[in-house]
Structure 1
Amino acid sequence: MHILLIQYQMLGDVLTSTIIAQQLKITYPDAQIDYLIIAHADALVAHHPAIDNLIKVTKSDFEKMSFIISLSRKLKQKKYDLLIDAYGKNNSAVLSHLSRAKQRIGYKKWFSRLAYTDAVKNNPDTSIYKTGIALGSRMLLTTPITNDVQWHLKPKIYLTPDEKTEGKQWLLQSGIDLKKPLTMVSVLGSSANKTLPFTSMAKVLDNFVTQTGSQLLFNYIPSQKKEALAIYNA
């Protein structure tokens, strides 16, 4: 069985949607799973045991309809048995339709009838899953193919032994005490409306450290360094 999973971006979403691939491998152990992602997210999923092949695209390309049409021709040749569109935007919907995969699953939207054979209402039942809306929503996309959804699945980054060694060395060189708790924090959202006021975020972090005694690693993209430093200094 040949399966295509689409989660074009963002970085967190690319990682989060790997739980769909995990479920697919549970349901179809011998399936080959291709994962279409934005190119700079490959390190997050490069060694994932449930993913057999990465199809990497750039933002500038994926936003062009000419590229979508060209890519769809290549995907059509692979004759996918199943496609799951976790991204659920116009371009991925068009790509899903043009791929001619036998079964195409996506979220229920205005374009669903054209794009997918199975449209799922994005309304996860909080009494069933315990891992949060983002994860529950993705697992809903597997309900058309199985009655045994593993709602407990969580995303995980798989590192090579060399990466683990290098990471440990970097932490030690940066003054991190590995005998004490360590927490990575995404201090800024992907946009201003997804970000707490800096002074409020600083108070949250201060309280967290007081309660847990944890050391903190700030996680942010390079263009957010100035804002991250403002929170750090607060």
Structure 2
Amino acid sequence: MQSSSFSILLVKTSSIGDVIQTLPTLQYLRARFPEAMIDWVVEESNASLLSASSLLSNIIVINTKAWRSSLGAWKTFFSTLKNLRSKKYDLLFDLQGNAKSACVTFLARAKEKIGFDSTHVQEKINLLVTTRKIPLAKTLNAQMKYLQLIQHYFNDDAIFLPQSISMNLTFLEKNRLEILLANRSLKVPIRLMIAAHSHWPNKEIQVETLCTLLTHISTQYSVCFLFVYHTGSEKQQADYMVQRFKSQSLSIGELSLPLWQSLMSEMDGVICVDSAALHLCATTNTPSFSMFGPSLAERYRPIGLQHFSIQGSCPYQVQFWSRCPLLRKCATGACLKNLDTHHLIKVCSEWLVTIKNRLQ
């Protein structure tokens, strides 16, 4: 199985946070099979991160959103289908477990197709397309869930510790990174990236709560806050925060995923919510402090003692073991909107002490 003829296909199409959390699995496979062909099926919107990795042999890009919205896109579909079926893999790992990945898994050619059992599949139809289902503990951290599915398949009980992941930057990305790091505002003892946005509004905290936290930090340390944004509304908030903290801050947008990750690697810490930013931070050696509400920190917080988090409480006593069933439709988002600021500052202060100790 060590020969270069051995081939593996990973099916993990989205979302970007889930794709990022699967990267340690790729590290494990490449370490175990250094000469193997390892391909990955991913949505086009998430492909740039994988393209910057040197661990993959090929990336098979799909665009299911376009296929559903445009008749002309079906030509692209058939081209992708031809590419997908042009190879017969030794192993296929469906690490998504939903209906979309089931379609890819069904269409792809592989001697064996491995996926989750009924405990972890998101949609039961996925169970019909895998030839082997791996049972896993219900309460696993998401990163470990993907990794252990593959380790269990190979009967490997060894503890695999993911390392930081280096991304290949283009010339323009390298140049922009150098310019950003040369900014005088960043010539301070502690540089903190602030990424308080999420695709889901109920995962975000109140702006004034964030300001209270950052005000406390700025009075205790010589610090620069680097606010990142990707949308117009996020830019408005970043601009507001820069006005609040003036010379202690700057904002930056239009970051590719590889550039964002490389910039994170140069920070002393990242403050964020449960989002792509948090999972991207986990691919670096940079410590994180994260705030959770409608998802459980113990499931999604990065692994490592340098990563701290707090968990908001649900005033409606909704119980869940991974993500709140009301994540998308809760009218108040109270679990994060009503965070106890005293507790928030206390835990973040403990985290900052560990950062200061790292820098000494």
TM-score (norm 1): 0.78
Q: Measure the CA separation in 2 of the matches of 1:31 and 1:46.
A: 18
Aligned residue number for residue 54 of structure 2 = 49
Aligned residue number for residue 172 of structure 1 = 182
Q: Measure the CA separation in 2 of the matches of 1:122 and 1:61.
A: 34
Q: Of the two structures, which has the highest relative contact order with CA contacts closer than 8 Å and spacing of 6 or more?
A: 1
Aligned counterpart for 2:131 among listed residues 117, 127, 140 = 117
For 1:1-234, what aligned pairs fall within 5 Å after superposition?
1-61=6-66, 71-108=80-117, 109=121, 110-121=124-135, 123=137, 133-142=141-150, 143-148=152-157, 150-154=159-163, 156-160=165-169, 162=171, 163-173=173-183, 175-178=184-187, 180-209=189-218, 213-223=222-232, 224-229=234-239
Question: Does the 8 Å contact 2:54/2:168 carry over to 1?
Answer: no
Q: Measure the CA separation in 2 of the matches of 1:25 and 1:215.
A: 37
Question: Does the 8 Å contact 1:23/1:149 carry over to 2?
Answer: no
Task: Report the CA distance shift for 1:125/1:220 in structure 2 as closer, same or farther (over 3 A).
Answer: same
Task: Report the CA distance shift for 1:148/1:180 in structure 2 as closer, same or farther (over 3 A).
Answer: same
Question: Does the 8 Å contact 1:19/1:139 carry over to 2?
Answer: yes
Question: C-alpha offsets along residues 34-74 of structure 1, whole Å, 9 cap, x if unaligned?
Answer: 1222223333232322112222223523658x676764453
Give the 3-state SS of the residue equivalent to 2:192 in structure 1: strand
Question: Does the 8 Å contact 2:7/2:38 carry over to 1?
Answer: yes
Task: Report the CA distance shift for 1:99/1:192 in structure 2 as closer, same or farther (over 3 A).
Answer: same
Question: Does the 8 Å contact 2:90/2:111 carry over to 1?
Answer: yes
Which one has a bigger Cα radius of gyration?
A: 2
Give the 3-state SS of the residue equivalent to 1:101 in structure 2: strand
Task: Report the CA distance shift for 1:62/1:35 in structure 2 as closer, same or farther (over 3 A).
Answer: farther
Q: Measure the CA separation in 2 of the matches of 1:215 and 1:27.
A: 41
Question: Does the 8 Å contact 1:104/1:118 carry over to 2?
Answer: yes
Question: Does the 8 Å contact 1:15/1:155 carry over to 2?
Answer: no
5+ long unaligned stretches in structure 2 = 1-5, 245-360
Q: Measure the CA separation in 2 of the matches of 1:123 and 1:211.
A: 42
Q: Per-residue deviation at 1:167?
A: 0.1
Question: C-alpha offsets along residues 151-205 of structure 1, whole Å, 9 cap, x if unaligned?
Answer: 42156241348444430212324x4324533232321122112212222233344
5+ long unaligned stretches in structure 1 = 127-132
Identity of aligned pairs, percent? 23
What is the aligned length? 227
Give the 3-state SS of the residue equivalent to 1:182 in structure 2: strand
Q: Measure the CA separation in 2 of the matches of 1:210 and 1:79.
A: 60
Question: Does the 8 Å contact 2:28/2:160 carry over to 1?
Answer: no
Question: C-alpha offsets along residues 98-120 of structure 1, whole Å, 9 cap, x if unaligned?
Answer: 21322222233322431212323
Question: Does the 8 Å contact 2:53/2:167 carry over to 1?
Answer: yes
Question: Does the 8 Å contact 1:107/1:120 carry over to 2?
Answer: yes
Q: Per-residue deviation at 1:2?
A: 1.6
Runs of 4 or more, structure 1, over 6 Å off, are: 66-70
Q: Measure the CA separation in 2 of the matches of 1:121 and 1:207.
A: 46
